């Protein structure tokens, strides 16, 4: 991989674990300056320290609640005040859920939209002038659930569809300004998002219902995302069977995709879909 990102200013949300943490380390190895946002400051500071050991000239940890407009504004202002600009913003912070809509408390869906969608909107709003100035990259990490309706994940799918629509529209609005906008949809990734997924009552489920062994690693996702940014790709759907093929089938044979999706998700241990068989 080239050193194109040496001294670039990269802002990453959700950087205390999973894909965000892996992105921080990969960019650090390329010599990028980092501004890392997440709610868990202690964990985030450890990531920043490790990033500097790996080669980042400077990695700054900023306690960030992406559901707060002011908190997102402060994250971006920290980047600008520290490095006089921004080259890349990666909207990665996100949470999931696991419950059918019939049973879920509506506050759960609101929480999903606040984190996944509004967090992206807030950070993008304040970073956009600087990204336009640098002709940089605006990235959103969504999911295959942002391309198909994933049963048992209504709020998650809705928020990821919303992020995709939002960023696709910004790409069109800034068509003449050389802004790079990329939407990345990993397949199922080995990370802590399923441990913190919200139940129907809004509590963290605390365990994953899926076998993590066969999933793509966060590190592998990070490498692909960075390559996509380097190539200024428009969109990326990672993995084949649970990614590219799923999206393809949803476009050309949607009724079959509905059945396959229901069947696949209902096989999870304690699936909320089982009673509907």
* Catalytic positions, written as ranges: 156
- H or E element that contains 34: strand 33-38
Cβ-contact 193, 96 below 8 angstroms? yes
Q: 125 and 177 in contact (C-beta within 8 Å)?
A: no
Which residue shows structure tokens 């990028």?
A: 32
Reported in sequence order, the residue ranges of 54-203 that DSSP labels E, i.e. its strands, are: 59-63, 88-91, 137-141, 180-185, 189-190
Q: How far apart are CA 213 and CA 125, in angstroms?
A: 38
Q: How far apart are CA 79 and CA 127, in angstroms?
A: 9
- Helix (H) / strand (E) containing 9: strand 9-13
């Amino acid at each position: 991989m080239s050193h194109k990102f040496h001294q670039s200013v990269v802002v990453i949300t959700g950087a205390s674990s999973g894909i965000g943490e892996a992105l921080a380390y990969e960019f650090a190895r390329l010599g990028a300056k980092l501004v890392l946002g997440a709610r868990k400051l202690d964990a985030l500071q450890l990531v920043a320290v490790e990033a500097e050991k790996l080669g980042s000239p400077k990695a700054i940890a900023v306690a960030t609640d992406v559901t707060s407009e002011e908190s997102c504004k402060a994250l971006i202002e920290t980047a600008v005040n520290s490095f006089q600009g921004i080259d890349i913003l990666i909207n990665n912070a996100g949470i999931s859920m696991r419950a059918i809509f019939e049973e879920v408390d509506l506050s759960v869906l609101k929480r999903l939209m606040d984190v996944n969608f509004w967090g992206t909107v807030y950070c993008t709003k304040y970073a956009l002038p600087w990204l336009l100035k640098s002709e940089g990259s605006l990235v959103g990490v969504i999911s295959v659930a942002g391309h198909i309706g994933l049963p048992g994940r209504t709020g998650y799918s809705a928020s990821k569809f919303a992020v995709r629509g939002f960023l696709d529209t910004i790409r069109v609005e800034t068509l003449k300004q050389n802004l790079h906008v990329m939407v990345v949809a990993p397949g199922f990734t080995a990370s802590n998002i399923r441990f913190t997924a919200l139940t129907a009552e809004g509590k963290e489920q605390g365990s994953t219902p899926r076998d993590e062994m066969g999933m793509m690693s966060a590190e592998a996702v990070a490498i692909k995302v960075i390559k996509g940014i380097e190539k200024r790709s428009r969109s990326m759907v990672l993995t084949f069977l649970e990614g590219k093929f799923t999206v393809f089938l949803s476009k050309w044979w949607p009724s079959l995709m509905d059945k396959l999706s229901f069947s696949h998700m209902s096989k999870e241990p304690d699936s909320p879909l089982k009673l509907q068989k």
